[in-house]
Amino acid sequence: MSVKVRTILLLSLLFVLPILALVARVAPGRADQAHHLVLPVVVSSPDYDILLDEGRATPHVLPVATGKVVRWANGDVDTITLATAGGVFGAIIPAGGRYDWPTGAAGIFPYTATGTTQAEGAVIVSANGAADWFDGRTAREAYRDSCGGCHGPNREGAVGPALVPANLPQNDAFYLDTIKNGRPGTLMPTWKYIYSEEEMWLLLGFLRSPVDEDQTQWGMDEIAASRAELVDEATLPAGPTHDGNMDNLMLVTEREAERIAVFDGDTHTLLGRIPTGYRAHGYAFDPTNERWAFNISRDGWLYKIDLYSLQPVTRIRVGVDSRGLAVSDDGNYLIAGNFDPPTAVILDAQTLDPLKVIETEGYDPDGRWVRSRVAITSDTAPELVGPYFLIALKEAGQVWRIDYSQPDFPIVKATGVGRILHDGFLSPDNRQFYIAAQKDNVMAVVDVASMTTTARIPTGDTPHPGSGATWTVGGKTYGATVHAGEGLVTVWDLALNQIVAKISTSGPGLFIRVHEDNPYIWADTMAGVTPNEIYVIDKETFEVVRVIDDGQQALHPELTDDGQFVYISDWLGEMLRVYDATTFELVAEIDGLETPTGIFNTSRRHEKLGH
């Protein structure tokens, strides 16, 4: 071949390969995502469904429709014996050979493939194949929603270990049991009440697969195009259409039902339900108008909600995987924090028009440049400090202060705050921002004015303060956190940033709450071996005065506006319990809820811990 011909071929490859890579990145996804141009590139398909090679089956778990013929290929240099329990299928496959199995009845069919080494795998047969599971989503989407918070969006590890094939040496039965039953005494929950047996197998198959590091493209154009007006605001009623107390509404996330149940905190009656996105997560309440609330779901949909008529009026998709949400004290701006893509999005709170997309990346405390999920969004009270939004970058270990009074939203950064940042809250005077650095087992303290880290409080294993708990008694102001890694409530003096009490509980918890008119601290143990226990602790003496142990998995205590009652979700029991917050008497049991989790009282609009 001449030099000229070789040069032409090389140039052709240099032109074609980037196009092939582009096509791979923009392959179509869910129907509600932006449309992308896909070039008509023809790639020949392999003549098999599962490859057995180098001691593994690829894919590890294959979902297929009933009646499909599944073909294995032996890519190894030795003969492989394929076998399944009960002899449903099996064969001796020579090197380079094939084996076909015509599927019949639906079911899960684990198998072993034994040659020089032994591999495991499974075929899941159902009427429609992969479309039958995760409500039509993919295993990757389910992983990011349920597992990515602890194990990282790309399985790289965070609070939990990295879930990549090289880190999974045990057999399938071991990991299926872990997914199904959790690991008591740790943050790893049980998923058997959320996912079917087939879906847990598919999650395991995803964990056994190579890591896909493609970056999600969801920027200003995609965000703006997703905005939809659901109800014309001009047609909304002038006042509430229900008789609930607007300052004492209890909004309860029904996690798997894609809706919010709304209760009147005065009478404990259900007023209605509001449809939302998948697994409603962050809440914010307009400090200037009792009518408006905002909610962001884990699949990135942000809703503006009319609390007078209990319905969403506008929605927009700010990301693909989202968590945090905050509203400015003047009611003009919202900020949403995304896990995927790692961005923060600033919007007009009245119209939900996107104003700015901020890519969240930087050097982590160990000097590595990382793209970082947004762990929390918050805002300061301008009459105290600001006007600012605060966001924490989980992997980058940074806290950013964003001035929303300036048209370009300038940013000041505090770097090196801690490893794997999570929840946080402001001191009542808004001068200090307390943020959990979960890999360091500390609550880091960031001075909001100077944006410097002034202290690190060694609270215990994996602090998880939820939305914050501070109170003042005897002239001193305290803060507290539960821990996702151990049964412990840690209390510290906010003036000195020194620990004053460590209170043992029966297991790890995720949420802690107080109220200025109630004398107690309320903490759950939802990740513990006894996940139904709520610890009630005296604010002044730090003594445990009661352990409430009703139900199956109690979490997220929330007090009514006057502090007289406390609402507690029972996730697994699928009910809500209301207690007298002074006598601890059970006042009401409300069933008919689907997987109730987070509870948010509308009085939060007045809080100074961050909206």
Residue 312 and residue 202 share a domain: no
Tokens 């924090």 belong to 337
pLDDT range class, residue 13, cuts 50, 70, 90:
very low
Residue 84 within a domain: yes
pLDDT for the residue 44: 54
Residue 402 and residue 290 share a domain: no
Q: Which amino acid is at 260?
A: I
Output the average pLDDT for the chain. 90
pLDDT for the residue 65: 96
Residue 155, phi then psi, degrees to nearest 5: 65, 20
Residue 394 within a domain: yes
pLDDT at 447 over 50: yes
Residue 604 within a domain: yes
Model confidence pLDDT, tens digit, residues 207-237: 998 887 667 889 999 999 999 999 999 999 9
pLDDT for the residue 611: 53
pLDDT at 167 over 90: no
pLDDT at 204 over 70: yes
Residue 189 and residue 77 share a domain: yes
Query: What three-state secondary structure class fits 217?
Result: coil
Residue 213 within a domain: no
- Per-residue exposure over 96-124, b if at least 16 CB sit within 10 Å of its own CB, e if not: eeebebebeeeebbbbbbbbeeebbbbbb
Going by the DSSP 8-state scheme, the letter that residue 204 receives in this structure is H
pLDDT at 426 over 50: yes
Residue 217 within a domain: no
Residue 506 within a domain: yes
Residue 526 and residue 582 share a domain: yes
Residue 290 and residue 249 share a domain: no
Domain containing residue 293: CATH number: 2.40.10.500
Residue 604 and residue 476 share a domain: yes
Residue 391 and residue 339 share a domain: no
Residue 475 and residue 395 share a domain: no
Contacts of 275 (CB under 8 A, 6+ apart): 258, 259, 312
Domain containing residue 124: CATH number: 2.60.40.420
As a whole number, mean pLDDT of residues 583-593 equals: 97
Residue 473 and residue 422 share a domain: no
d(CA 172, CA 175): 5
pLDDT for the residue 271: 98
pLDDT range class, residue 54, cuts 50, 70, 90:
confident
Directed axis angle between helix 197-207 and helix 139-146, to 10°?
90
Residue 611 and residue 472 share a domain: yes
d(CA 247, CA 265): 9
Contacts of 75 (CB under 8 A, 6+ apart): 51, 52, 53, 54, 96
pLDDT for the residue 24: 35
Contacts of 499 (CB under 8 A, 6+ apart): 457, 458, 459, 490, 491, 492, 493
Domain of residue 332, residue span: 232-242+279-359
pLDDT at 43 over 70: no
Residue 368 within a domain: no
Q: Which amino acid is at 161?
A: P
How many whole angstroms from its chain centre is CA 65? 31
pLDDT range class, residue 152, cuts 50, 70, 90:
confident
DSSP readout, 350-378?
TT--EEEEEE-EEE-TTS-EEE--EEEEE
Residue 79 and residue 32 share a domain: no
pLDDT range class, residue 45, cuts 50, 70, 90:
low
pLDDT for the residue 609: 66
0.75 exceeded by the pTM?
yes
Domain containing residue 544: CATH number: 2.140.10.20
pLDDT at 186 over 80: no
Which comes out higher in pLDDT, residue 179 or 160?
179
d(CA 198, CA 106): 11
Domain stop point among 402, 426, 458? 458
Nearest residue to 313 via CA among 253, 389, 230, 199: 230
Domain containing residue 412: CATH number: 2.40.10
pLDDT for the residue 542: 98
Contacts of 291 (CB under 8 A, 6+ apart): 306, 307, 308
81, containing H or E segment? strand 80-84
Domain stop point among 430, 458, 486? 458
Residue 606 and residue 471 share a domain: yes
What is the rounded end-to-end Cα distance, in angstroms, of the chain?
A: 69
Number of domains in the chain: 5
Beta bridge partners of 535: 523, 547
Work out whether the CA dihedral 196, 200, 202, 203 comes out positive or negative. Answer: positive
pLDDT for the residue 390: 98
Model confidence pLDDT, tens digit, residues 312-357: 999 999 998 899 999 999 999 999 999 989 999 999 999 999 999 9
pLDDT for the residue 141: 87
pLDDT for the residue 215: 74
Residue 224 within a domain: no
Cα–Cα distance list, 19 to 13, 23, 216, 217, 425 (Å): 10, 6, 18, 17, 46
d(CA 2, CA 12): 16
Peptide bond preceding 59 in cis form (omega within 30 of 0)? yes
d(CA 448, CA 545): 36
Cα–Cα distance list, 472 to 42, 149, 428, 447, 514 (Å): 68, 32, 10, 20, 11
